[in-house]
Amino acid sequence: MVKRFPVLKEVLHLLFPMVLTMTLELSISVVDTIMLGHYSALHLAAVGLASSLWLPVGCFLIGVTFGLTPLVTRHLHGRQPKLVNLYMSQAVGLSVGLGLLASLVAIFLLPYFAGLMATEEETRQVSVSYLYIFAPALPMLALMTAYKNLFEAAGRPGFPLFVASFGLALNILFNYVLIFGNFGFPEMGAKGAALASALSLYLAVSMFLVYDRFINKTPLFTRLVWRYTRKFSILLNVGAPAGFAFAFEVGLFSSMTWLISSFGDLALGGGQIVMSYTSFLFTPMMAMSAVTAIVVAKAMSKEGVDGVRKRIRVIVWLGLSYVSTCFIITQVFHNQIPYIYSNNAEVVALAASILLISSCYQFPDMLQTVFTGALRGFRDTRSTMIAFAASLFGLSIPFGFWLSHYSPWAETLSLRGFYIGLGAGLTLLAAILIVRFQIVLRRYEGKRIASPREVA
């Protein structure tokens, strides 16, 4: 079937390794959650709280580098590979500069909010320690994503997959040693998880640098142009709105964590389980978004709007098949899944009830993810940022807060109302992005991006 449908072959060639890469990268967080859940319910809650604070900052850093994808794709297919050095130099400057700023925020500002939201003193102390240890690794998070985007945009997803596999193996080992204090190392709990994640990020960036510089026969990033490490306006114009949009989405989940903290630390633990599980399921959809941006940019430079439509149809059908499978699995096993993360009966029961709700909003979540990638392929990221802000913070949080606290069903729904509000916001977001995509397509009808110079 793949041979008969060349568009499907093109999409799957990129999608499979990227899904595996992102799944392995996210598995680092899943491993942290599982090991800490079996170590201590309070440590699990503390990491959930700390993650809800640094993730919006970290995801902004990741999102800024998303601007590399359409730019690199069009220049490589336009046979102007040397221009890639300019964009990667900008990515290095942005990653280091914004990463250092993010580290300072995580060290000096976020612990204050952790103290406000934690209901137990031990939870507060562990959250603050986690932030202090993990903060210096934030620049590496941005650099690793920039390198990964570079290789994937060039159609070489194999090495990022290897880095993710090796990083996961090391993280499991580091967690086992540092969380529980095995092989003579001190028992560090959540602090050990933070140290393990930071070490994994530093090693991943080192592997990308050494491979592309000394081993890769056709290196992609051949020269650091120092002038462009300070002049990064092109990448920032595309990447900043994408970064804000990504941070808005993750920030919504983080805001929900802050809001449900009033229901107690066990509720935080249940919310962390749901976030970890749904994030794991969301990973292939993130890969679909990245693939969509790549194939849309490539199709517009070679075939035009008709080529874009063909690829979008294939990706949407693949997405529908995937989320339908996830929906069935979650609905059938919602009582058993939380036991993977924790053996606390109250935490498990709460997480199980939320999973029934979260499985329903995966359908609009898939659509908004795919069309976000499609618009990014056209370098249309500002409208996506506005749509995210309006839908998620204009509808999801107010509606969820009303359901949980003031609606006639507030006592029954409790914190579950926030997740129903999330589903409503994602549905509105998907509708807005689909309409915007159709408008952009009509604007480019009958046109092609004939030269990569047009996007520079």
* DSSP 8-state class, residue 67: G
Express each pLDDT in 313-358 by its tens digit.
Answer: 999 999 999 999 999 999 999 889 888 877 878 888 888 888 988 8
Residue 358 φ then ψ, to 5°: -65, -30
Residue ranges in 379-448 assigned as alpha helix (H): 382-388, 397-405, 410-413, 416-443
Q: How far apart are alpha carbons 193 and 153 in whole angstroms? A: 31
> Of the candidates 4, 7, 3, 87, which has an alpha carbon nearest to the alpha carbon of residue 318?
7
CA-to-CA dists, residue 438 to 116, 241, 292, 358, 383, angstroms? 44, 20, 15, 28, 13
Interval 260-273 mean pLDDT: 73
Residue 255 φ then ψ, to 5°: -60, -35
Report CA 417 to chain centroid distance, whole Å. Answer: 24
- Is residue 287 a contact partner of residue 318, using CB atoms and an 8 Å limit? no
The predicted structure's pLDDT at residue 422: 87
Beta strands in 88-245 (DSSP E): none
Residue ranges per structural domain of the chain: 1-229, 266-448
- Is residue 221 a contact partner of residue 85, using CB atoms and an 8 Å limit? yes
| pTM of the predicted protein model | 0.70
For residue 367, the number of C-alpha atoms closer than 13 Å in the C-beta half-sphere is 19
Q: How far apart are alpha carbons 107 and 136 in whole angstroms? A: 9
**Exposure string over 4-17, b if 16+ CB within 10 A, otherwise e:** eeebbebbbebbeb
**Weakest mean pLDDT among 33-47, 153-167, 314-328:** 33-47
- Is residue 48 a contact partner of residue 350, using CB atoms and an 8 Å limit? no
Express each pLDDT in 176-213 by its tens digit.
Answer: 899 888 888 888 888 888 899 899 889 999 999 999 98
**Tokens linked to 290:** 């990245």
Residue located via tokens 């297919």: 77
